[in-house]
A and B are shown apart, each in its own frame.
Chain A
Amino acid sequence: KAGVTQTPRYLIKTRGQQVTLSCSPISGHRSVSWYQQTPGQGLQFLFEYFSETQRNKGNFPGRFSGRQFSNSRSEMNVSTLELGDSALYLCASSIGTTGELFFGEGSRLTVL
């Protein structure tokens, strides 16, 4: 069974640009969550989606947005990139809202 797949794995952007990251959950999983991981702040929750609906949102500015499609795949977008947005962005999926979270290997974003 394939795990959580995130694309792209690495990307470099410049300040002011925008970026879209993609996440394909494990087959059959309907819940997708996104996290930002940095050395200073650790793992921070961004948002959670279930059946195309955002269930929870973390404490991030409106430049961070996401969505989930009918096939449970999810994307997150960061607009007007800042240097501080450089991080590993992790996607996790679960069967429902009470199951174990399975993480992907992340998309490493560098903002220059």
Chain B
Amino acid sequence: GENVEQHPSTLSVQEGDSAVIKCTYSDSASNYFPWYKQELGKGPQLIIDIRSNVGEKKDQRIAVTLNKTAKHFSLHITETQPEDSAVYFCAASKVGSQGNLIFGKGTKLSVKP
């Protein structure tokens, strides 16, 4: 079955710096890759997603890149702000089975003012 590895597990940056989180997946049939942000005491919230027919997607300060050949995808956050501090999860699934997500173990991002 699918396995998703995520690193780093913790990441500390200064406000205004960029943050990069990387994930690899094992199942070449996976074609949907969402990223979730989870704040303390809340459920995960989708922040951006990408499908395998696209190599890069951007939404304001957040971007995701996908390398299908290498089976890895990355989250890039630019101009980080203290409110970006949270746990970020990557996930993988197949389109049409997006209720069945395989998650990475998460990255705790701390943005220091």
Contact = CB atoms under 8 A, between A and B. Distances in A.
Interface of A: 4, 31-33, 35, 42-45, 48, 50, 55-56, 58, 90, 92, 94, 97-106
Contacts of B36: 103
B43 A106 contact: yes
Contact of B44 (A43, A45, A50, A97): A43
Given A45-B102, A101-B101, 20 more contacts: A33-B99, A33-B101, A42-B103, A43-B101, A44-B103, A48-B97, A48-B99, A55-B97, A55-B99, A55-B100, A56-B99, A56-B100, A90-B43, A94-B99, A97-B96, A98-B95, A100-B34, A101-B46, A101-B99, A104-B43
A48 B100 CA distance: 7
Instruction: List the 4 closest A-B pairs by CB distance, nearest first.
Output: A103-B43, A48-B99, A33-B99, A43-B103
B46 A100 contact: yes
B98 A94 contact: yes
Chain B facing A: main interface SS: loop
Interface in B35-91: 36, 41-46, 49, 89, 91
A43 B96 CA distance: 20
B9 to A, nearest CB: 11
Contacts of A92: 43, 99
Nearest to A33: B99
A90 B44 contact: yes
A15 B46 CA distance: 35
A4 B99 contact: no
